[in-house]
Amino acid sequence: MTATPEDLFAFLDQLGIEHSTMTHPPIFTVEEGRDWHDRIPGLHCKNLFLKDKKDKIWLAVMPGDKRADLNRLEKRVRAARLSFGKPELLQEVLGLTPGSVTPFGLINDATRRVTVIVDGDLPKSEWVNFHPLHNAASTTLRLADLLRFIRALGYDPLIVDCGP
């Protein structure tokens, strides 16, 4: 069963992770969210749901204004030709829809199919923002706590430069 935002917040609370959430109109892209950046403190991030030609699934978490270089990234993580995962796969694995991709979706990856990549620039920010399983809100937490959340779910994120 797919977790709800309330399930997510309860898990964050159980881990002792400080978090705050602000609702806003649905935001599908980083560009659409620019009007909200001044109202929500912290680094605004984007998340790329990727698949390689060997059907391995990847989630790249990176600053919203950074351009991803998939050719370089696949070499850095030894992936076999990365491409964007289809919406059906996103729903199946993370319980999310396009425009709502978030590392919080890892709570729904029951079989731990995803390899998590955290961009090397993220640690430069104390506070980061992600959609809480839907794109009509943003949840702010410390980057250290995001990593703690990811590890509590059983992942060992790769810290890699995702850009050129």
* pLDDT the model gives residue 90: 97
* pLDDT the model gives residue 37: 72
Two structure tokens written together for 64: 């919203």
Cα separation values, 154 from 64, 112, 147, 148, 149, Å: 25, 8, 11, 10, 9
Two structure tokens written together for 99: 């425009």
**Chain-centre distance for alpha carbon 40:** 17
Phi, psi for residue 146 in degrees, rounded to 5: -60, -45
Specify the 3-state DSSP secondary structure of 118: strand
Residue numbers of the chain with a pLDDT score lower than 70: none
Specify the 3-state DSSP secondary structure of 74: helix
Q: Domain with 151 in it: what CATH number?
A: 3.90.960.10
Quote the pTM value.
0.93
Classify burial at 13, counting beta carbons within 10 Å of its beta carbon; exposed 0-12, middle 13-18, buried 19 or more.
exposed
CA atoms within 13 A of residue 149's CA, in its CB half-sphere: 26
Of 59, 53, 101, 114, nearest to 79 (Cα)?
53
> Are 70 and 50 spatial neighbours (Cβ–Cβ below 8 Å)?
yes
75: containing domain: 5-160
* pLDDT the model gives residue 140: 97
Q: What is the total residue count of the chain? A: 164
- CA gap 77, 72 in Å, rounded: 9
- CA gap 112, 16 in Å, rounded: 23
Query: What domain count does the chain have?
Result: 1
